[in-house]
Structure 1
Amino acid sequence: MAEILVLYYSRHGATADMARLIARGIEQVAGMQARLRTVPEVSTVCEAVEDEIPAAGPPYATLDDLRECAALALGSPTRFGNMAAPLKHFIDSTSSLWLEGALIGRPAAVFTSTSSLHGGQETTLISMMLPLLHHGMLLLGLPYSETDLLHTSSGGTPYGPSHLAGTDSSLPLSDAEQRLCRALGQRLAETTARLQGRP
C-alpha cells in the first residue's frame, strides 16, 4: 500500500472534516492508503508546549511522515489570506527534507476553510503551494470536469477544495464541498498510482 499524507491544522473542526473526506477519496483508489496527521498549536510569544500525543484526533506530524509519503494533501484554515501559523511553523522545519530533495517529484494538493466567502480562500491555497513548489512537488488542483466548481455557492476552487464555515465557524460542509474534497483525494491517489506505474 502506498501512503498519502493528509497533513492539516484545524482550529474549529472544519479543516479536519475536509481532511477526513480527502482521505476517503484517497482510499477509493486500489493500493492507496491515507495517513492523517495534524500539527500542534503555537504561541505568538514562544513555541507552545504540547503533549507529544494530542488528546484527540490523529497524531502530530513528524518529518518522517513527509519523508515516507508517496504524495501530500496539505490543509489549513485561512489566517488573513495565508496559512495558519501552526502549519507554517511545521513547514518551516522541513529544511532538512529540502536539502535531501526528499519530496521532489511527488504529487501534492492543498485545501482550506474560511469564515467568509471572500475571506482569502484562494490566497491561502496559494500560500500553501509556495513551499511545496520549493520542495519540487507536483501540484494538482481540481479540473472543471468537477462540475460543482461551476455551481457551488459556498466553497470550491480550481486551486483546491475550500469550505465556507461562516462567521462563527459552525456551518457544516455543503454537499458540493464534500464531493470536491473526495474528488481531490481520488485525483491525488490516481495520479500517484500512475506515477508509480500502477495500472
Structure 2
Amino acid sequence: MAKVLVPYYSAYGHIYEMAKAVAKGAEEVEGTEVKLVKIPEFDVVKQAMSSQDAYVQAQDNQDDVAEATHDDLRWAEGIAWGIPTRYGSMPAQMKQFLDSAGGLWANGELEGKATSIFTSTGSVHGGQETTIITSLIPMLHFGMIFVGLPYGENPEQLTTDGIGGSPYGASTISGPDGSASPDERDFVMAKRLGARLAKVAHKLNQ
C-alpha cells in the first residue's frame, strides 16, 4: 500500500482538472490510496476576483475538495504538487503553505518521500519549466525525492504542438485569458505522472 497526496492551488480550474488526472493515474496503480486536497485561497484574492465569473465558477467547482493540512503531508508517502505559475515560479498561496510547514522540515517528517510537480501557464513560454524547477528547491529542503516525467514514458513531449509536458513534469496551457482547456494529451501525461509517482512511492515504502 502507498498513500499519494495531490495538493494543488487552482484559481481558474486548469490545475484542478490536471490534479484530478494525476490522482486518477495514481489510483490505477494497484494498492494505492489517493487523497486530493486544495491549498487555501487568500481572502483578499477572493474579494479582488469576486467580479470575475470564470474565477467564481472555478472556485465553486472546487467547493467539495478539502483544504490541505500538515497532517495530510504527514499521511502521504508520495506527494504530487499542483502549482500554477506566477511569473515563472509558484504563487504566494502555495509558498505560504510551504512556509507554514517549517515544523515538518525541522523534524524531517517529509524526508524520503517521493514528490512530483505539475503546472499550468498562460502561454507556451510562460514558465512551465521554470515553475517546476524553482518549486523543486523547497521540496529538496524538505528532503523529498523528485520524480520527473522521462521521454521514454512520455512520447507526447516530443512535439512542436502548443501543448504541455516536459521531462520535469506534466503541464497545460490555460491561454492568455484563461479560456483554453487542457489538451487531452496533457491529461494523458498527468495520469502518467501520477502513476509514476505512485510506483516510486511503493518502492520507497518497501
Task: Return the match for 1:192 from 180, 201, 206.
Answer: 201
2: CA distance, partners of 1:181 / 1:23: 9
**TM-score, length-scaled by structure 1:** 0.90
**TM-score, length-scaled by structure 2:** 0.87
Per the alignment, in what secondary structure is the counterpart of residue 81 of structure 2? strand
Shift of 1:128: 1.5
1:42–1:85 contact (8 Å) kept in structure 2: no
Letter in 2 for 1:61: A
Letter in 1 for 2:30: A
Letter in 2 for 1:42: F
2: CA distance, partners of 1:115 / 1:57: 26
2: CA distance, partners of 1:110 / 1:190: 15
Q: Is the counterpart of residue 2 in structure 1 residue 2 in structure 2?
A: yes
Task: Give 1:163's aligned residue.
Answer: 172
Instruction: Report percent identity of matched pairs.
Output: 42
2: CA distance, partners of 1:127 / 1:57: 30
CA deviations on 1:88-130 (whole Å, 9 max, x unpaired) are 1101101100111001111000010111110111111112211
Task: Return the match for 1:124 from 128, 131, 135.
Answer: 131
CA deviations on 1:120-172 (whole Å, 9 max, x unpaired) are 11111112211100011000100101101112531111110110110121211
Per the alignment, in what secondary structure is the counterpart of residue 142 of structure 1? coil
Task: Give 1:78's aligned residue.
Answer: 85
Task: Give 2:150's aligned residue.
Answer: 143
Shift of 1:34: 1.3
1: CA distance, partners of 2:15 / 2:177: 14
Shift of 1:43: 5.8
1: CA distance, partners of 2:90 / 2:44: 15
Task: Give 1:49's aligned residue.
Answer: none
Task: Return the match for 1:66 from 73, 91, 97.
Answer: 73
2:2–2:198 contact (8 Å) kept in structure 1: no
Shift of 1:2: 2.8
Shift of 1:39: 1.4
1:29–1:186 contact (8 Å) kept in structure 2: yes
1: CA distance, partners of 2:131 / 2:21: 19
1:78–1:112 contact (8 Å) kept in structure 2: yes
2: CA distance, partners of 1:92 / 1:4: 21
Alignment RMSD (CA, Å): 1.8
The structure whose residues are more often helix, as a share, is 2
2: CA distance, partners of 1:127 / 1:8: 16
Letter in 2 for 1:149: Q
* Structure 1: unaligned runs, 5 residues or longer: 46-53
Per the alignment, in what secondary structure is the counterpart of residue 151 of structure 2? coil
Shift of 1:44: 6.8
Letter in 2 for 1:81: G
Letter in 2 for 1:7: P
Deviates more, 1:148-157 or 1:159-168: 148-157
Per the alignment, in what secondary structure is the counterpart of residue 78 of structure 1? coil
2: CA distance, partners of 1:91 / 1:124: 15
Task: Give 1:51's aligned residue.
Answer: none
1:74–1:128 contact (8 Å) kept in structure 2: no
Task: Give 1:100's aligned residue.
Answer: 107
Deviates more, 1:141-150 or 1:166-175: 166-175
Tell me the matched-pair count. 190
1:26–1:182 contact (8 Å) kept in structure 2: yes
